[in-house]
Structure 1
């Protein structure tokens, strides 16, 4: 009996080999992620070896879970057919093919995760679907980036190795298929035992499994925690969480409660509540009434790239010099981590709603903001960008919310379009000057908004121009080029008749992530430059109070506009002070005041409360200061949900 059971159990060694093969490939990719992001270990101050060992041990649990899901249907089907004596060669081939296809998808996700992990300091998630509306642009951007191409080659190489090994296991399995139907009584215990093990491995399920995801966050170090996660698990859970009924919208509290809290928080005036729960009259007393406004949204220009904020590589000599003669808001943070977050929050004064792409929702939100308010006050409005205006639904959203026209890739000579991000920054600025001259000739002030593109992958510095970067790194070279392009823009503008009657505003759409940040949401990804330059005023003024992108609209209105009703979540940071600011990094929501940093995770992990000014203190004070944490949580939840109820109402 024991010998028969052993023989029958031998048939299940082949699925085990397939399982271990998958685990081996997951482990290889985790090792690649480690060595590709070694700078992430800089923040780990003690017990590096033991923490890395635990990360790989926890990672094995996630890898096993994914492999159990990959193998569940093929294994269960094969086991039942084996019991019935129907597991023939062609059926077995189909089951191995299905397993291979599912794992090939896993390999694709793991390869795509590598550049995603380095750029965002987190495992890949479903936000990549936000490229849906401009797929051609997204694909071109990927394949023009050498890093993506390297990982594409890696994927193809690993794919070939995996298929070859899997095929070898299949052939061995075929050779060892029994010639006659197995004994039901001796095989059933093995089948049931294997199914029990499969069930244990699948414990946690794809979806909102708080207990399972919490296993990955066992240390205070973001890199170590992210290393332990399986990217396939992270991608699938974020996707299934997005499509689950009821999860389309934020719903921490009732909309009426959120509006009441936000109204009190933002000092909204009840007499204007019909316009917005947070609406209040703004008396501007403008210092520069009806001046033109040139607003430059700088792609990925993190504050830490500037010498002013500690960078020693001299990447932004022009911005650093400009900061010294401008109103410079040194503690400004981006509302989100994507360009669409930056445009939406900067121009229209609303927070980024975590994973939501609010420029691509139906019906099209009708927004108050810088473009719409200045247009009502007689301004002409134009938006310039380097690339395809359909990307991120910019064309539809911006033309539907206050912009008269948009100049993009379709308008430039084809010979000047040099990469997936369109024309170089300097060419866009140069191209715009005659058009702005035409607007000036209409004897009406204008708002000209620029969205730069060069400081975005694929990194490309034009040739045959009077500029040479000193950085050997392409990522740093394009920062230098973007800074040089801004210098050229100001040179071009200074020769225009409208220059002296204009204010120039510079702010980034978001920063870039760096593993040497101690907190899970890197400050470098959100801390951004924000400066306002007024020609003729050479003495700068540093403003250190907390600011966020939503503040740009009321701040600019306070300088150039007439009185207006502010229906947004921004304040004039020249005159007012925040009790807290709120920003999000996809699935993580952050609330910050002058001393505390509250961090909320939408996947159900326990929130964190940190004294971020204490030299990067990693102690979680949530249990020690529960009232402070709860107050910041309520404030953040109310602002986002109130904003959602205003611009994305429930369908009737």
Structure 2
């Protein structure tokens, strides 16, 4: 038998992995969400460099296979070595089981995981030691299981990458990392969104068939276990390739530099993208981004926030009339794009109530979401500061006692609550809001009779609004104004909701249905609320948390950040504000309408004031954008700065103030003033958080 055949388990699994990766790229290449066409050179780059990257990633990922195979032998079961090794395993098991091992210092499930792993290893070693006649069969089935597991993980990863692309239009990013943390909600979402039983049945069937053929062509490794010298050769070959892979993988990642984001994403290896997302979940602005001297950054910021001085944003806000302590209800709507509404060009009539309510409200027609996740939207309306690099403040450890909208309302004598139809533990909402002085009303606050329908994300919006009405009726009797922030859940995959409410059945899992049911629930809420004694003295603020999708051809596609927002106050005349603005400006503008006097640290501003200078912030977890003067400036890690001229791509029949589509044309001559202004906003926000200057 040649040495080449000793490598059969590696190269057979590698060929299968390459085949799945190639097939996945083909599928994603032609996927409807891939809103791009590719040149021949771009296509060659995607598939050729993608394959090379896959090769090196597989080498690294097969480290566990190498470790397993290299320790297969018969000699370790001979006396006295077998008994010594078994004794070591038993001692390790008892050590971990004692509850005083080093693993217990890390807490969580780690000690249990280690205990189970060592327990299984001890049991299997004992079987192989004491049952020599069964050793060959046991070893074969263990070998088969390892091959099966690798095949399953390869297929599972392919499916996961497909569904992630289907949802976000990218390979894995830090959202995928978060999904590992909130497994209950995510697994539940998958269970309710997709035909799980058929998919996993097919998955295990295909895994079994592929394992059979790989096993058939690889079992000579255990039928004729390599000698010590052959294992040394295998190890030298593997470790050499492993070392080369550690250099090659990040080098190849640097070639993902096309102006077309889809080219970069399709070329990228999903597993390595996941690793990068895990590593970059926290980004230090001052380490990864272009900076200015801190003093200069705050001087530039002062041009936008005139009343500040020194290296902070503290300033006095003075109302132009007597303060009005009306009740305030802030409703952030899950995944609600501007283009769902009629005014922005939608002709499906899926938002009839909000279309009509907007005509009775103060509309903000040119408002952009700060990010593309719920926690970014919550951060924007609660803390009113630009989206800083890495994870949202909502999910950081240092997320308490911040200067917030809730803090202002508390100063003014309001009851302050955060209401959410799901489990507020999700996305760290409970920790964030309770740590900033909000009382929490979530699914755990509901009695069984208050829940008529729920899915993995929580109770339906109707149930949440009915609960909110009860809470506000109680608050009204306390002779104190209230501020209640309600976060909706129904407009989220799997898009299930009660049947017989709208003309789209709730069990067909339609996004249009989710949008329409969200609109229906709001109509029911306002119908009931309008009959309550507190209604006429209440201001309603309605805004999306983010758009329904973030996928686009460019780094920061503007249409994927445009969201509707309006303020409705019963009896007030409708108005329209078409100034360019950010989600972080909404609540400071409300405070201006209520004529509040307060000491502010907000980066957000009252856009109705004469000194407001239009601009908007849009960002991912690593790309930080500023829209101003019809130019988009983007700051990225490694001190990268890009600028794009925004050319309107008008949609026929849509009024100018509701146009949302722009072509992003690379700017030929840098607008240094806008680069510095963008740096100023994001650097000062990062500085304020880093040095705890944004506390209440």
Structure 1 length-normalised TM:
0.83
> What SS class does the counterpart of residue 401 from structure 2 fall into?
coil
> What SS class does the counterpart of residue 416 from structure 1 fall into?
coil
Distance 1:630 1:313, change over 3 A: same
Aligned equivalents of 1:145 and 1:470: distance in 2?
15
> What SS class does the counterpart of residue 320 from structure 2 fall into?
coil
* 2:320 counterpart of 1:285: yes
Distance apart, 1:240 and its partner CA: 3.0
* 2:385 counterpart of 1:313: no
* 2:654 counterpart of 1:620: no
Matches for 1:232-247 after TM superposition, within 5 Å:
232-242=271-281
Distance 1:350 1:162, change over 3 A: farther
Matches for 1:4-403 after TM superposition, within 5 Å:
7-12=2-7, 15-35=10-30, 37-41=31-35, 43-44=36-37, 47=39, 51-72=42-63, 74-75=65-66, 101=149, 104-130=152-178, 135-146=183-194, 152=200, 155-174=203-222, 199-205=243-249, 209=250, 211-218=251-258, 220-242=259-281, 253=291, 256-257=294-295, 260=298, 263-267=301-305, 269-270=307-308, 277-285=312-320, 289-403=324-438
The equivalent of 1:536 in structure 2 is: 571
Size of the aligned set, in residue pairs, is 621
Distance 1:309 1:70, change over 3 A: same
Matches for 1:507-522 after TM superposition, within 5 Å:
507-513=543-549, 515=551, 517-522=552-557
The equivalent of 2:536 in structure 1 is: 500
Aligned equivalents of 2:360 and 2:291: distance in 1?
45
Contact between 2:388 and 2:682, CA under 8 Å: does it hold in 1? no
> What SS class does the counterpart of residue 332 from structure 2 fall into?
strand
The equivalent of 2:100 in structure 1 is: none
Contact between 1:265 and 1:635, CA under 8 Å: does it hold in 2? no
Contact between 1:241 and 1:247, CA under 8 Å: does it hold in 2? no
> What SS class does the counterpart of residue 247 from structure 2 fall into?
coil
Matches for 1:572-583 after TM superposition, within 5 Å:
572-575=606-609, 576-578=611-613, 580-583=615-618
Distance 1:65 1:630, change over 3 A: farther
Distance apart, 1:429 and its partner CA: 1.3
Question: Which is further off, 588-597 or 257-266?
Answer: 257-266
Question: Which is further off, 257-266 or 303-312?
Answer: 257-266
Distance 1:91 1:146, change over 3 A: closer
Distance 1:288 1:250, change over 3 A: farther
Structure 2 length-normalised TM:
0.79
Distance apart, 1:554 and its partner CA: 0.8
Aligned equivalents of 1:134 and 1:194: distance in 2?
36
> What SS class does the counterpart of residue 504 from structure 1 fall into?
strand
> What SS class does the counterpart of residue 511 from structure 1 fall into?
coil
Distance apart, 1:509 and its partner CA: 0.8
Aligned equivalents of 2:419 and 2:186: distance in 1?
20
Contact between 1:386 and 1:452, CA under 8 Å: does it hold in 2? yes
Distance apart, 1:505 and its partner CA: 0.8
Aligned equivalents of 1:142 and 1:12: distance in 2?
37
CA offset digits 1:552-593 (Å, max 9, x no partner): 221111111421111011001122534533232123222221
Distance apart, 1:282 and its partner CA: 1.1
CA offset digits 1:166-212 (Å, max 9, x no partner): 3223224445767x78799xx96x9867765555454334xxx3x42
Distance 1:247 1:260, change over 3 A: closer
Q: Structure 1: which 5+ runs fail to align? A: 1-5
The equivalent of 1:571 in structure 2 is: 605
Aligned equivalents of 2:456 and 2:230: distance in 1?
62
Contact between 1:133 and 1:391, CA under 8 Å: does it hold in 2? no
Which one of the candidate residues 539, 544, 550 is aligned to 2:584?
Answer: 550
Distance 1:94 1:287, change over 3 A: farther
Aligned equivalents of 1:473 and 1:408: distance in 2?
22
Distance apart, 1:475 and its partner CA: 1.2
Contact between 2:358 and 2:566, CA under 8 Å: does it hold in 1? yes
The equivalent of 1:3 in structure 2 is: none
Distance 1:477 1:173, change over 3 A: same
Aligned equivalents of 2:490 and 2:12: distance in 1?
48
Q: Structure 2: which 5+ runs fail to align? A: 78-134, 650-661
Aligned equivalents of 1:464 and 1:76: distance in 2?
58
Contact between 1:258 and 1:637, CA under 8 Å: does it hold in 2? no
Aligned equivalents of 2:303 and 2:144: distance in 1?
59
> What SS class does the counterpart of residue 219 from structure 2 fall into?
helix
> What SS class does the counterpart of residue 204 from structure 1 fall into?
helix
Q: CA RMSD in A?
A: 3.8
Distance 1:541 1:554, change over 3 A: same
> What SS class does the counterpart of residue 359 from structure 1 fall into?
helix
